[in-house]
Amino acid sequence: MCEDLFYNALNITTESGYKNLCEAFNEAGSWEKAWLNFAAKKKPLLDPETEWEKLRKLGVRLILYNEAEYPPQLGEIPFPPLGIYVLGTLPSDSAAVAVVGTRKATSDGKELARRFAGELSGAGLAIVSGLALGIDAAAHEGCLLANGKTVAVLACGLDNFYPRSNERLAEKILASGGAIISEYPLGAEPLPYRFLERNRIVSGLARGVLVVEAPANSGSLATARFALDQNREVFVVPGSVAHPNFTGSNQLIRKGAELVTSSGEILETLGIEQEPAGRQAGTFGKAETEEEIKILNALEKFRRPAAVDEIVELTNLNASDINMALTMLLMKNVVKETSDGYTVS
């Protein structure tokens, strides 16, 4: 813990300046000596043990670059974080895909992000994104609906879930066994340049990046560029040339990113075998809407045929939406109707 304690103190006082941190460590050979050297010159006002206690009270862990818990795939990228602060549980051995896109997403775009994230997590992949509004939030939600594991990477300290409107989503991620991480110490503000720095971590944690709706100046384009630099796959959902939300997306495809229209195409490129039946763990490959995924997960929990009113109680959907979704699921042979209600085929 000694090295972690002094790294945290130095990270705070240098405002997470990557170059300054590297130079301090290389000169001293340890974070403790680097802190002592810095303190002798600058006489900082903070106390390392006091700052460490703040982390402990919030349940935040700090994992340094050379520690066993540090995600190995993240250590492979150019300019890896020297330390990451973690709330929750990082996925242990599962591969991951990052799902990113615009904050000002269309309803169709958000539904696609939920669907892709749900199906990919059903195939055993963790989902990584940035907890932002729009596509990021939809990707986290789709993964949670499929009972998968998702990781949110923040551009600020873990004492401040940004944006505040997604605080409840952050709590759901932690409650489901996922993680929220950052390279910034407590108290760090979500400054504009930190979102760009954050994006290299989003792509660095994943085997590939899926871009859903990226306008010309979208931050998700930077994530795609980082992915290419990190030798990751880049997948893009295409869109109308008349819609500004797809200007950046279509340019990525033109420059060589893989156009995808289904999660199966991503799994094939990554060399991940798909479930032979329509069903995947926690969700189903043929479920196309949020309502369908909720209903299928509810039927799995019942483990017996369930009536519509029972599904209403468990999903909080209204009866008309449930009946419409059940009709589609029956047509796709994912659900079957019995004398006692509906069950998974």
11 pLDDT more than 70 = yes
Given a contact cutoff of 8 angstroms between Cβ atoms, the answer to whether 84 and 70 are in contact is yes
pLDDT score at 222 = 95
Q: pLDDT by residue (tens digit) across 118-144?
A: 999 999 999 999 999 999 999 999 999
Say how far apart CA 28 and CA 37 lie, in whole Å: 8
User: Which tops the pLDDT comparison, 303 or 196?
Assistant: 196
Given a contact cutoff of 8 angstroms between Cβ atoms, the answer to whether 188 and 157 are in contact is yes
Say how far apart CA 225 and CA 247 lie, in whole Å: 16
Say how far apart CA 81 and CA 151 lie, in whole Å: 16
pLDDT score at 134 = 96
How is residue 254 written in tokens? 């033109």
Task: List the domains of the chain with CATH numbers.
Answer: 1-47 (no CATH), 96-270 (3.40.50.450), 286-344 (1.10.10.10)
- What residue ranges in the chain does DSSP mark as E strands? 61-64, 83-88, 96-101, 126-129, 150-153, 179-182, 208-212, 233-237, 258-259, 279-280, 283-284, 335-338, 341-344
Q: pLDDT by residue (tens digit) across 225-276?
A: 999 999 999 999 999 889 999 999 999 999 999 999 999 999 999 998 775 4
- 153 pLDDT band, cuts 50/70/90, is very high
Rounded to an integer, the average pLDDT of 181-199 is 96
- 152 pLDDT band, cuts 50/70/90, is very high
- 47 pLDDT band, cuts 50/70/90, is very high
- 329 pLDDT band, cuts 50/70/90, is confident
What average pLDDT is seen over the chain?
A: 91
pLDDT score at 1 = 59
| The model's pTM | 0.80
15 pLDDT more than 60 = yes
User: Which tops the pLDDT comparison, 330 or 226?
Assistant: 226
> Strand pairing of 258-259 and 61-64?
unpaired
10 pLDDT more than 80 = yes
Which amino acid would we find at residue 40?
A
Q: pLDDT by residue (tens digit) across 275-309?
A: 544 444 444 455 667 788 888 888 887 778 889 98
89 pLDDT more than 70 = yes
Rounded to an integer, the average pLDDT of 210-231 is 95
Rounded to an integer, the average pLDDT of 313-328 is 85
Query: Could you give the dihedral angle defined by the CA atoms of residues 44, 50, 51 and 53, in that order, rounded to the nearest 10 degrees?
Result: 170
Collapsing DSSP to helix, strand or coil, 137 comes out as: helix
Q: pLDDT by residue (tens digit) across 92-120?
A: 767 999 999 999 999 999 999 999 999 99
